Structure 1
C-alpha cells in the first residue's frame, strides 16, 4: 500500500484480502436485488399466458415490474436518515430480512396483490442496500482498488439478473423464488464477520475501533498515517453537522449532486432498466428463431462478462474515457434497434431474413453499455460526497434513480403498446446523445484519487500527483 501524506511518501506492504471479502459478502444482497429486478423477464410471460394460475393483464404486469422502484422511494429515505446512526454494516445486514420475506411471498402468492406487496417490500430492501453498500465499499477501499471494488456493486447486480433469468426460465415461479431466497440468508451468516467502515466509526468518535478496522482491512499494524488523514477529513467534514439541504446550499455538494444526476440520468434514460424488465418480451416480439429464454441468458451473460472487464480496467483506463465510449456506442445500437422495429411495423419490407438484427443490436448495446455506463455511475456514488452528507446524497441518488427508472419503464410499456416498439428505442438513443454532451462537459476524472483528493477536485483546487510530489521533494 502506498500512503501519501503532505509532502512525504511511505511505502508499506499489506494485504487487501478483507477489502475483497467485505465487498464480496456485502454484494450478495446486491445479487438478490438484481434477481428481484430481473424477475419480470422470465416470470411475466408465464403470468401473462392463458395457462397462468394468477391471471394477469399487461398493465398489471407493468406495475409488477416497476413496484421495486416504488418501494425504494420508501427504503431510501429511511436509510438516509438512519445509516449514520445505525452504521453501514448493520444497515446492510438489516436489508437481508425484507429480501427473504419478499421471495417467500412471491413463492406462495395466490393473487396479483400479494405479488405487488412482495415486490414493494423488495424495493424497500433495495433502497436500504443501494444507499448503504456503495458508501461502505467506497470507505473501506484503498484508492488503487476502489474502482474495482466499487464497480463490483454493478457486476453483482448484473449477475443477479443473469441468475434469475436462468433459474426463472427453467423452474416454476414458486421454486425459483424459494431458490432465490437462499442468498440473503447467506449474507446474514457471513457478513457479520466483516469490519465496519473506519469512516463510520470515526463519525461515532470510536478511534480505537476505527484503527482495528483499518488494520484488518489493510492487513497492516501500522495504519497511523492513514488513520490520521481520515480522522482529519472526517473532523473537517462533520464539524458542521450535515443536513439534507447542505446538498444544495454548499457549492461543492451541489456540484457533486449535479454530476450524480447527470450520470444516473444518462444511465437510466438509455432505457437499461426497461430493457431489463422486458428482455424476453423484446426478443419474443423480435421474432428471431432463437428462443427468448436462451437469447435473454446470452444477453445477460455478455453483460456480466463485460461488466467484469470494465471493473478490471477502470482503475487503469479511468472513469471518463470509459463513460464516453460507452454512451456513444449505446446511442448507435439503440438507434439500430429502433430502425429495425420501425421497418418491421411501419413498412412492407420483409425483415424475416434480418430477424437476427434485434438480438445483435441488444447484445451490442449491452456490450458497449457495460464498458462504462453500467458500472461507473454507481461506483462514483461512493466517491463524490463528503462524510457529513454522504448518507443524504446516496438517499437522494436512490430516490432519483427510482423515479426516473419508473418513468422510463412505464414510458417503454406505454410507447410500445401505443405506437410500436421502435418509439422508445429512438427516444433512448437521443437521450444517450444528450448524456454524452453532459458527461464530456461536467464529469471529472477520479481515477487514483483518495476520497479527500476528490473533494479538493470538486472545490476546483489542484491535486498533486505522486510524481509531482516527488519532483517537489527533489527540488527541495
Structure 2
C-alpha cells in the first residue's frame, strides 16, 4: 500500500536548513546509546560473572538470564511513567530526566558486590529505558522534516546498536567495574548536550505556546519564515486534540486502531525473529559454535556489521521506502536463521564432525544481522513516531514499548529455556518460522509512509471522505 502525497496542495516554502534537526536528533539519541549499552552489557559480562573472573561473586545461568531480561520487564514501568508525564513536562525535559537514572545504574554496577545490587541497577536502567524509548521516537518524529524523518527516526535504532557494539568492545577487554565507569560518561554527555536543544513545536502548540512553537520551528528549520508550517502544525494539533486523548481512544478510533495493528505487526515480527535474545547471548552462541572462534572478536564483528548496515538503511529508507526494505529484511533473516539452526542441529544431533565448518555459525549470524539491519531493526521504531496523532501519541508509544518489552522478555526466556532443555538449534528454527509469518503480515497490512507529513499519514489512516463526497482513500492509496 502506498500513500500518495498531498504536497501538490501545499504552497511552496523556502528551503530548510536541516543542521539543527540533525544536532537535536544526535544529542537526543545519546540516551538511546546508553540504553543499548545496558542491553548489551550481559553479552560480555555474564560469562565473567558465571566463571567468577574479575568478580567477587558468581551467578548461575538462570540468575544470569534474569539479569539480562530485567530491563525489558521493568521498562513497562518507565513506559507507563512516560505516558503520564510527557505531555506535562514536555518531550525535552522527559528525555533529560532519563540521564540521571542511567548514570546511577552504571555506578551501582561498577561497585556492586552482590546479586541484589545488580538486580536493582538493572531495574533502574529498565525504568530509564522505558522512558527513553517512549519519548525519543516521539520527539524526533515531531521535529523532523518529512524529507529526512526516515533518516533521523531510523537513527534511534542505529544509536541503540552502536551502544551495544560499544559495550561489547569495552566489556570484552576491561573489568566489569572499569566498563561501568567508562559507560557512565555517556548519560552525562547526553545531559550536557541535549539540554540546549529546542522543545518539540508540537508540544508547544499543545500547551498553547504559539510564540515558543514558532521560535522552536525557526531554530529547527534554520529560517525565520515558518508561519505556513506553524499554521499547518497548529491546525493539525488543534484538530487532533479537540477531545482530550484517552487510552481507549487507541482502540475506539478507526485511524488509531489501524495504527496500533500496524505497530503490533512490526514489533511482533521484529522480536519473534529472536533479535533481542541473540543480543543478550551473542558471545555464548559463538562459544557453542566452536573453540576455534574467538567469541569476543566474533561478537564485535557481528555488532560492527549491524551498526554499519543500520547506517546504510538509514541513508536509503527515505528513497527506497519502508515496505521494500522490510520485506527484503525478513526474507534474508529467515534464510540466515535457518542455516544457523541447521548448523547447530548437525553439530549436536549427529555424529558429523562440523569443526572444519565452525565458521558457518559466524557467517550465518552475520548474514542474519546484515538482513535484519537492512529494515527490521530500525523501521518499526521509525514508524512509531509517524502513525499516531498528538492527543494519543504518548499512550500509543507507551503501549508499543510495553508490547515490545513483554514480547522481548518472553522470546529471551524462551531462547534460554529451550536452548538448555532441547538444544540450541530449536529456537533458531522457531525464529525462522516467525520471520516467514511476519513477512506475510507485513505484506498484507503495513503501508508505505515515506516522504509524507504526519498530517498526510493521519488522512490515510482515517480514510477520510473529501468535501466532494469522494472517498479520499481511493485518491491517496495504491494497493
Cα shift at 1:188: 1.1
Residue 10 of structure 1: SS of its match in structure 2?
coil
- Structure 2 counterpart of 1:30: 32
Query: Retained in 1: the 8 A contact 2:287–2:293?
Result: no
Query: Retained in 1: the 8 A contact 2:6–2:456?
Result: no
Q: Distance in 2 between matches of 1:314 and 1:13?
A: 21
- Structure 2 counterpart of 1:49: 51
C-alpha distance after superposition, 1:79-115 (max 9, x if no partner): 1111001100000000001000000000000001110
Counterparts in 2 of 1:148 and 1:63: CA distance versus 1, 3 Å: same
- Structure 1 counterpart of 2:469: none
- Structure 1 counterpart of 2:299: 296
- Structure 2 counterpart of 1:473: none
Q: Distance in 2 between matches of 1:21 and 1:449?
A: 22
- Structure 1 counterpart of 2:263: 260
- Structure 1 counterpart of 2:224: 221
Matched, 1:125 2:128: yes
Q: Distance in 1 between matches of 2:6 and 2:380?
A: 27
Q: Distance in 1 between matches of 2:317 and 2:20?
A: 21
- Structure 2 counterpart of 1:287: 290
Q: Distance in 2 between matches of 1:370 and 1:198?
A: 31
Query: Retained in 2: the 8 A contact 1:279–1:296?
Result: yes
- Structure 1 counterpart of 2:467: none
Matched, 1:251 2:292: no
Cα shift at 1:6: 7.3
Matched, 1:347 2:344: no
Q: Pick the aligned partner of 1:323 from 323, 326, 329.
A: 326
Query: Retained in 2: the 8 A contact 1:268–1:408?
Result: yes
Task: Kindly report which structure 2 residues correspond to 1:125-164, keeping only aligned pairs within 5 A, or say none.
Answer: 125-164=128-167
Counterparts in 2 of 1:5 and 1:275: CA distance versus 1, 3 Å: closer
- Structure 2 counterpart of 1:469: none
- Structure 2 counterpart of 1:82: 85
- Structure 1 counterpart of 2:94: 91
Counterparts in 2 of 1:293 and 1:54: CA distance versus 1, 3 Å: same
Q: Distance in 2 between matches of 1:201 and 1:101?
A: 31
Q: Distance in 2 between matches of 1:245 and 1:342?
A: 46
Query: Retained in 2: the 8 A contact 1:288–1:356?
Result: no
TM-score by length of 1: 0.96
Residue 239 of structure 1: SS of its match in structure 2?
coil
TM-score by length of 2: 0.95
- Structure 2 counterpart of 1:278: 281
Aligned residue pairs, count: 463
Counterparts in 2 of 1:5 and 1:230: CA distance versus 1, 3 Å: farther
Matched, 1:379 2:382: yes
Query: Retained in 2: the 8 A contact 1:5–1:229?
Result: no
Cα shift at 1:4: 7.2
Residue 12 of structure 1: SS of its match in structure 2?
coil
Cα shift at 1:14: 2.7
Q: Indicate the RMSD between aligned Cα atoms, in angstroms.
A: 1.3
Counterparts in 2 of 1:245 and 1:8: CA distance versus 1, 3 Å: closer
Q: Distance in 2 between matches of 1:212 and 1:248?
A: 35
Matched, 1:13 2:19: no
- Structure 2 counterpart of 1:193: 196
Q: Distance in 2 between matches of 1:54 and 1:286?
A: 27
- Structure 1 counterpart of 2:395: 392
Q: Distance in 2 between matches of 1:345 and 1:110?
A: 37
C-alpha distance after superposition, 1:425-462 (max 9, x if no partner): 00000000000000000000000000000111112334
C-alpha distance after superposition, 1:94-141 (max 9, x if no partner): 000100000000000000111011001100000000000000000000
Q: Distance in 2 between matches of 1:436 and 1:155?
A: 22
Cα shift at 1:8: 4.3
Query: Retained in 2: the 8 A contact 1:141–1:149?
Result: yes
- Structure 2 counterpart of 1:470: none
Query: Retained in 2: the 8 A contact 1:383–1:454?
Result: yes
Cα shift at 1:187: 1.1
Query: Retained in 2: the 8 A contact 1:68–1:120?
Result: yes
C-alpha distance after superposition, 1:195-231 (max 9, x if no partner): 0000011000000000000010001111111110000
Q: Distance in 2 between matches of 1:230 and 1:60?
A: 49
Cα shift at 1:282: 0.3
Query: Retained in 1: the 8 A contact 2:57–2:113?
Result: yes
Cα shift at 1:9: 2.9
Query: Retained in 2: the 8 A contact 1:457–1:463?
Result: no
C-alpha distance after superposition, 1:245-299 (max 9, x if no partner): 1001111101100000000000000000000000000000101522100000000
